[in-house]
Structure 1
Amino acid sequence: MIFKQLMDSFLIHYLGRFDKFPFNVEMHGDTYQIGEGEPEFTIQVNKDIPKKDLMASTSLALAEAYMRHDIEIKDGDLFNVIAHLLEQSDRLSLDKSALKGLFSFSEKKRDQQRQVSSHYDLGNDFYELWLDPTLSYSCAYFKDDSMTLEQAQKAKVDRTLDKLYLKPGMSLLDIGCGWGYLLIEAAKKYGVKGYGCTLSKEQWKMGQERIEKLGLQDQVTIDLIDYRDLPDKNLSFDRIVSVGMMEHVGRQNYQTYMETANALLKDGGLFLLHSITGNDEEMSDSFMRKYIFPGGVLPSLRELVSIAYDHEFRVQDVESLRRHYYKTLMCWYHNFQAVHDKVEAKRGDEFVRMWDIYLCGCAAAFWIGYIDIHQILMTKGINNELPMTRWY
């Protein structure tokens, strides 16, 4: 189909570059088709998007337009729209100089505490609405398609603890321990002594409640403390685990993070680092940095491995859980959709649509391989006492 009045709107003209997959755009009563073939979805434009916004950051401009209902998705779903656009990410515009505030966040302790709090301290009642009962807010592990989200989250924790080769009496540090579920399971199943740190007051509060309810005060401790302050406590551990925290460290602090872990881990100890990873070292997601994770930065796998070897760590195993995170996020997205009314009543329609973009968009990003997630198992120095096989 030939565009009608193509230049009536810069938006229509601009969307023409995303022609790998066919779709329709409806605007002012007219329909324009992008690409060749049967359209897979329709974008309805209720209010035009300024050229300067599209050129500053296409993804942010489109996301904000969706949040305001300036655009709607018809004859399709949000996942497919985002996935199709991300598969053509090289055609997205991004002018970092026009968005300096989003790409120059402070990585100092006090500022990072505020950044973390802005997301994780939205309230335990909010996360309880759509996470599984374990309150695990990281990638689950689906051994088979029949698993529920709760079963898959428990399987993830079991798999993670198995990799750490825990023995009764060992000490385990969880950097960025969230609500404490992994530490509690380690104490219950392996008889270890667990210590966790978090910057979220809400997570810390629930962690204390969980520990007291189970009577594990002598086995599990969670402190509201920055990981960089842990060496001052003269602690040392047989094992260290960190799940979904590296994304908040900040590129300038990678060496400090790894140096801290190195200082806290005993010789021959195991360190399991679980992190979302980017395919490069670029910071390009303006929507996530503005609305979801201020100051968030994704390390690349090559960065993590390289920095590990700058210290005493030796990589034993690397596992990608990309498709598992896609499925986890789709579970969260569907759970979140089921509680739209409750969330909207308290936080408003724009917040609901923002979180729809976040959850659905991340699922799409993992599905197409725009981002990945890896578990990296390392030893401090050489450890010849571990079993020879991968799945000990």
Structure 2
Amino acid sequence: MATKSLSNLSLTSYSLYNAASDSIANWSRGFILTALKRITIGEIGIKDITANETLQFGKPGKLSTTLTVNSSAMWWRVLSRGSLGFSEAYMLGEVDCDDMTSFLEIMVYNRNDTADMKTPLSYLTSSMAHYDLSNDMFAAFLSPDMTYSCPKWLPADNAESKTDNLEKAQIRKLQEIIQQARIKKEDHVLEIGTGWGSFAIEAKQEAETRIAAAGFEKNITVLLKDYRELPKQGLLFDKVVSIEMLEHVGKAHLPGYFGTVNELLKKEGGIAVFQSSTMPETFHSTISDMQLQFYHLQIFPGAHLPTATQMVEAANQGSGGSLIPDRLINLGGHYSRCLRGWRENFADNFESRIMPALMERNGGVTKSDIEIFRKKWMFYFYFCEAGFKTKTLGVTMITFVREGSVDTLEGLVQ
């Protein structure tokens, strides 16, 4: 579910911050600056307009950025509300940054030394976006296939990697899933969480090529239904696929989700492939509600990023051990380049395509509302890009099989 209005920031009283005394602001500022002195990786410059002062922290190197503080309210927001307070300050123009991704990376790398100030991005998790917004808006930053998930880029040593583009990378990811699921011409395939249907289209086209060659043009049916209704109808599928939908199931519901998959997947030879954004195992146990607030309140309420272990354990619990882990691929390193491309497309097309779509869909919005909305999305892209670049976020593609699923042995010498 997305926020109901463009400016629904869930801020705890603008007046509280605006009315904060100079002494509180200065105390907060001093506390945060003391913590920043412990930065050892990267360099952060701070131009404090309100104090007419420029400060430097850390060491010169590959990562360097400058924050411009336009309002002393920013210090109290960050100290009292962590990453949520920082995101609000950015959206409200209280702080700007010349390279937000680098800033977030620096904060991640130094999180152990600065954790006592509840720094923004001390810990990163997921952010999925507001799916009930205009399709025109998504079309303005996604690739033409409208795939809203992690792609698969060519490796750097491939001669064609420099000319690789997002659409090709998305199709390559879909082809990887098709291969992992060993989809054949006679298969009935269920996709849970279709988005704009790029996987269904790609899988159908891939299969139809083979089917047409074999003379079986009507061998595939694409079903658009709530997957939870399917067990009641007695439907069974040879293959089940879900691409970055698992994050929205919720931690408590993961075993039930895999239980439903277990009911839908054929007992003989069934294969299921899931792609999900994930968090590191140790990282997950240390995260706090404060550090999750930006995502839960601003981007996708209720979202939960599992660890790879949680996915395996939930599948085992929900299926009674009959969904067997077969292969795991980490695609997380492919996401930062994708997010950077989405951010650039979003920024380039905001005034010409996104803003008109927002105004048409949301009558009566103000320029201030739209600017807050723009900055929230920009911060979302920055936030996630930094998470994947520092490997504090990952993407796991995991294949589960039934006992005796010999299709997975294809291509191996027996």
TM range (shorter): 0.7 to 0.9
Alignment of 1:178-189 (within 5 A): 178-189=195-206
Aligned to 2:330: 320
Alignment of 1:365-384 (within 5 A): 365-384=387-406
The offset of 1:71, in angstroms, is 0.5
Could you tell me how far apart the structure 2 residues matched to 1:386 and 1:23 are?
A: 50
Deviations 1:92-137 (A, max 9, x none): 4699xxxxxxxxxxxxxxxxxxxx9x81110111111110110000
Confirm whether residue 128 of structure 1 aligns to residue 139 of structure 2.
Answer: yes
Deviations 1:251-275 (A, max 9, x none): 1101101111111000120000100
Aligned to 1:175: 192
Equivalent position SS for 2:176: helix
Aligned to 2:35: 17
Aligned to 2:250: 250
Aligned to 2:9: none
The offset of 1:216, in angstroms, is 9.0
Cα gap change, 1:93 to 1:362, in 2 (>3 Å): farther
The structure where strand makes up a greater share of residues is 1
The answer to whether the Cα contact below 8 Å between 2:46 and 2:68 also exists between their aligned partners in 1 is yes
The answer to whether the Cα contact below 8 Å between 1:59 and 1:92 also exists between their aligned partners in 2 is no
The answer to whether the Cα contact below 8 Å between 2:186 and 2:220 also exists between their aligned partners in 1 is no
Could you tell me how far apart the structure 2 residues matched to 1:244 and 1:14 are?
A: 36
Could you tell me how far apart the structure 2 residues matched to 1:50 and 1:337 are?
A: 24
Could you tell me how far apart the structure 1 residues matched to 2:27 and 2:218 are?
A: 63
Confirm whether residue 277 of structure 1 aligns to residue 298 of structure 2.
Answer: no
Confirm whether residue 364 of structure 1 aligns to residue 366 of structure 2.
Answer: no
The offset of 1:372, in angstroms, is 0.5
The answer to whether the Cα contact below 8 Å between 1:55 and 1:93 also exists between their aligned partners in 2 is no
Aligned to 1:86: 108
Of 147, 154, 167 in structure 1, the residue corresponding to residue 164 of structure 2 is 147
Instruction: Give the letter for the 1:270 counterpart.
Output: I
The offset of 1:234, in angstroms, is 1.7
Instruction: Give the letter for the 1:47 counterpart.
Output: S
Question: Larger RCO: Structure 1 or Structure 2 (Cα < 8 Å, ≥ 6 residues apart)?
Answer: 2
Could you tell me how far apart the structure 1 residues matched to 2:197 and 2:236 are?
A: 19
Aligned to 1:307: 314
The answer to whether the Cα contact below 8 Å between 1:322 and 1:372 also exists between their aligned partners in 2 is yes
Of 346, 360, 378 in structure 2, the residue corresponding to residue 336 of structure 1 is 346
Could you tell me how far apart the structure 1 residues matched to 2:184 and 2:219 are?
A: 19
The answer to whether the Cα contact below 8 Å between 2:29 and 2:76 also exists between their aligned partners in 1 is no
The offset of 1:33, in angstroms, is 2.0
Of 75, 83, 93 in structure 2, the residue corresponding to residue 69 of structure 1 is 93
Instruction: Give the letter for the 1:137 counterpart.
Output: Y
Could you tell me how far apart the structure 2 residues matched to 1:56 and 1:173 are?
A: 46
Alignment of 1:204-219 (within 5 A): 219=221
Cα gap change, 1:159 to 1:375, in 2 (>3 Å): same
Deviations 1:140-191 (A, max 9, x none): 1112342111111111111111111111121000011111111122122114
Equivalent position SS for 2:406: coil
Equivalent position SS for 1:222: coil
Could you tell me how far apart the structure 1 residues matched to 2:168 and 2:345 are?
A: 15
Deviations 1:242-296 (A, max 9, x none): 0000100001101101111111000120000100001125464211111111111
Aligned to 2:56: 33
Instruction: Give the letter for the 1:22 counterpart.
Output: E
The offset of 1:218, in angstroms, is 7.2
The answer to whether the Cα contact below 8 Å between 1:167 and 1:191 also exists between their aligned partners in 2 is no
TM-score of the superposed pair, with normalisation by structure 1 = 0.79
Could you tell me how far apart the structure 2 residues matched to 1:218 and 1:271 are?
A: 18
Could you tell me how far apart the structure 2 residues matched to 1:93 and 1:296 are?
A: 26
Could you tell me how far apart the structure 2 residues matched to 1:150 and 1:273 are?
A: 21
Deviations 1:4-28 (A, max 9, x none): x9x9452253143232332221222
Aligned to 1:265: 265
Aligned to 2:66: 42
Cα gap change, 1:309 to 1:94, in 2 (>3 Å): farther
Could you tell me how far apart the structure 1 residues matched to 2:67 and 2:176 are?
A: 42
Could you tell me how far apart the structure 2 residues matched to 1:51 and 1:43 are?
A: 12
The answer to whether the Cα contact below 8 Å between 2:74 and 2:89 also exists between their aligned partners in 1 is no
Could you tell me how far apart the structure 2 residues matched to 1:145 and 1:160 are?
A: 24
Deviations 1:208-265 (A, max 9, x none): xxxxxxx999722213x2x333322221100000000010000110110111111100
Cα gap change, 1:181 to 1:147, in 2 (>3 Å): same
Structure 1, unpaired ranges of 5+: 96-115, 193-214
Structure 2, unpaired ranges of 5+: 1-22, 119-127, 155-160, 210-216, 360-369
Equivalent position SS for 1:328: helix
Cα gap change, 1:88 to 1:57, in 2 (>3 Å): farther
Could you tell me how far apart the structure 1 residues matched to 2:307 and 2:243 are?
A: 16
